[in-house]
Amino acid sequence: NAGVMQNPRHLVRRRGQEARLRCSPMKGHSHVYWYRQLPEEGLKFMVYLQKENIIDESGMPKERFSAEFPKEGPSILRIQQVVRGDSAAYFCASSPRTESIQYFGAGTRLSVL
Amino acid sequence: KNEVEQSPQNLTAQEGEFITINCSYSVGISALHWLQQHPGGGIVSLFMLSSGKKKHGRLIATINIQEKHSSLHITASHPRDSAVYICAVQFRNYQLIWGAGTKLIIKP
């Protein structure tokens, strides 16, 4: 039973480009959470999704960031027109239910040049 | 004031020592998590607690809901335990508020 899979592990983008981060939850998990870890800071909640629905996006920047979790395929975190301040580690977690332990992926490290 | 406070921020100990990392929080929670982040950056969930005590191998986690305090203990510490240990509290059923982490170094 594979764990939470995130790809790519490392992503380099130039300012103004788009970044697409993918997260495949553990088998049987329909709840996905995205967190961001800025350099030298703790993790911060971004968004919580269930299949085809955004439940809570209170931690997402209002502009340029979007997330989806389609019926088929991985969850995608999309950052348009990236800026240097978007450089961070982005972690995805999944769980089978709301009130259960969250299992984390290895993260995607985004570097914006 | 941070809602989740961890102490110490950094901890260096010799192999074999008993390790304690503390976490205090100020909000009402539904659960508390302890996680481990290795230098490579990956995060591993260690425990999820809502009351009492849990044990897994050499790791023990306790929580006192009334005092809003949790501790993570490592017995017979080993250099491979070196990592950042993070406390996160769960409220609104799913949202995690993260502590700043405790950087643990175990010297051989």
Chain A residue numbers touching B45 (CB-CB < 8 A): 101-104
| pLDDT value, residue A2 | 67
| pLDDT value, residue B93 | 66
A47 close to A36: Cβ distance less than 8 angstroms: no
| pLDDT value, residue A41 | 81
Chain B residue numbers touching A42 (CB-CB < 8 A): 86, 98-101
Q: Nearest to residue A50, comparing CAs of A34, A39, A35?
A: A34
**b/e map of B71-106 (b: 16 or more CB within 10 Å)?**
bbbbeebeeebbbbbbbbbbeeebbbbbbbbbbbeb
Locate B21 and state its tokens. 């990392």
Cα(A53)–Cα(B86) distance, integer angstroms: 29
More confidently predicted of A21 and A37: A21
| pLDDT value, residue B3 | 86
From the list B41, B45, B99, which residue is nearest A102 (CB)? B45
Q: What is the pLDDT along chain B (108 residues), one digit of tens a residue?
A: 568 999 999 999 999 999 999 999 987 787 899 999 987 778 888 998 989 999 999 999 999 999 999 999 999 999 999 999 999 998 766 778 889 999 999 999
Q: Does A54 touch chain B (CB under 8 A)?
A: no
Which residue type does A16 have? G
CB count in 10 Å sphere of residue B44: 14
- pLDDT digits 0-9 by tens, A65-107: 999 999 889 999 999 999 999 999 999 999 998 777 888 898 9
Handedness of CA A39, A42, A47, A50 (dihedral sign): positive
- pLDDT digits 0-9 by tens, B29-39: 878 999 999 87
Locate A94 and state its tokens. 């999944």
